[in-house]
Structure 1
Amino acid sequence: MATQKTFLVISALGEDNPGLVNQLSRAILDYGCNIEDSRMTVLGGEFAAMLLVEGRWNALAKVENGLPEIGRQLGMAVFCKRTGERATGKNLLPYAVDVVAKDHPGIVNNLAAFFAERSINIEDMATSTYAAAHTGTPMFSVHMTVGIPADLHIAGLREEFMDYCDGLNLDAVLEPLKG
């Protein structure tokens, strides 16, 4: 009989300094746990990390109890929450969404509203701004992964999405997630 894995989601935020990933991952390893999944990035001058840590219940309890001290040592605000394995069997198709546009307020909210109105879950999202080559125009890009219900007509959804983005002057692609 397979046992249900137990996880801890850790969110950490603090001033960016070399060695933070090493120190944070070492502390988790020292408590007997493993980082199963993570997202780490520098936003402005701050380092942000979200970690999915797996371990036996007692090792996770040690991590939970040790996080305030780890946060103090690293100069980071650290939060955690217990979770279980991700539910499967929802019959969802993973699709990638890429959008590029001249930067302006509301792009993320407009995209989120489009998918929310259709009960499509945004599972992962990364955004960035940059200056366009040659002109220096402020640009905005979004990459996301969405879970589309298998019974949804994909061609119709794609057409709706492309029309929606055209109306907002967003250059967009919606395609099956590869790999």
Structure 2
Amino acid sequence: MQQQIVFTLSAQDTPGIVTTISTVVSEHGGNWLDSRMSQLAGEFVGIVHVGVDLDKKSSLETALLALSDKGITVEIRQSAAQTNTKHAGLRLHQIQLIGQDRPGIVTELSRLFSSRQINIFELDTQISDASMAGGVLFNADAVVGVDKSIDLDELLDYLHELADALSLDIEWTAHI
């Protein structure tokens, strides 16, 4: 019987971290299902979802936790959902935002979504120099799950109001 686990990892960024993690998963019978990893400010961080037979789960978890000896911190969680049900009943939409950077953009955007029970599945943000205009630009790409019962026109009105208040340009792609 397959079990699914999700673990986070963090380490000072050096070449070979993904190789180290994936080797441990493979050597203990795990199947790498999904992951998101990134280098941020000299740290390498990620979240990984693996499947493993029940009889090998304990040894895989022990081996992952032992990576602390190599400077890789791992925190393990039992996956609460199967991969084929994570988007059930939701319409997925992609959102892209760009505008002058200022504190609070992510807070305001996430507050809008959470107040309407909209799930953020992915959120990638970055800042970049705005060489032509001066200053710093904030860029965000998100994938959100919107329940089919939510009025999309009303949601887009709220989103555009927020974008106007924060001086952001927004692009909404329905049903990705």
Q: TM-score, normalised by structure 1?
A: 0.90
1:91 aligned partner: 89
Indicate the residue corresponding to 1:103 in structure 2. Answer: 101
Contact between 2:87 and 2:145, CA under 8 Å: does it hold in 1? Answer: no
1:59 corresponds to which residue?
56
CA distance in 2, matches of 1:94, 1:139: 26
Where do 1:3-22 residues align within 5 Å? Answer: 5-22=2-19
Gaps of 5+ in 1: none
- After superposing the two structures, state which structure 1 stretch, 139-148 or 159-168, moved more: 159-168
Task: Give the CA RMSD over aligned residues.
Answer: 1.7
Match of 2:35 in 1: 38
The alpha-carbon deviation at position 135 of structure 1 amounts to 3.8
Equivalent residue, structure 1, for 2:78: 82
Please report how far the alpha carbon of residue 132 of structure 1 lies from its aligned counterpart in structure 2 after TM superposition. Answer: 1.6
> What is the CA-CA distance between 1:89 and the residue it aligns to?
7.2
- Which ranges in structure 2 are unaligned for 5 or more consecutive residues? none
Q: For 1:128-147, list aligned pairs within 5 A.
A: 128-147=126-145
The CA distance in 1 between the partners of 2:142 and 2:135, in whole Å, is: 23
Aligned residue pairs, count:
174
Return the alpha-carbon distance in structure 2 between the equivalents of residues 117 and 109 of structure 1.
12
Q: Could you report, residue by residue, the CA deviation over 1:120-175 in whole angstroms, capped at 9, with x for unpaired residues?
A: 11111111111124344211111111111112221222122112211221111222
Letter in 2 for 1:156: E
Taking the aligned partners of 2:27 and 2:19, their CA distance within structure 1 comes to 12
Distance 1:158 1:88 in 2: 24
Per-residue deviation at 1:68?
2.5
* Distance in 2 separating the partners of 1:114 and 1:66: 40
User: What is the distance in 2 between the residues matched to 1:143 and 1:82?
Assistant: 28
Q: Give 1:163's aligned amino acid.
A: E
Q: Does the C-alpha gap of structure 1 residues 36 and 92 become closer, same or farther in structure 2, counting only changes over 3 Å? A: same
TM-score (norm: length of structure 2): 0.91
Query: Is the 1:6–1:85 contact (alpha carbons within 8 Å) kept by the matching residues of 2?
Result: no
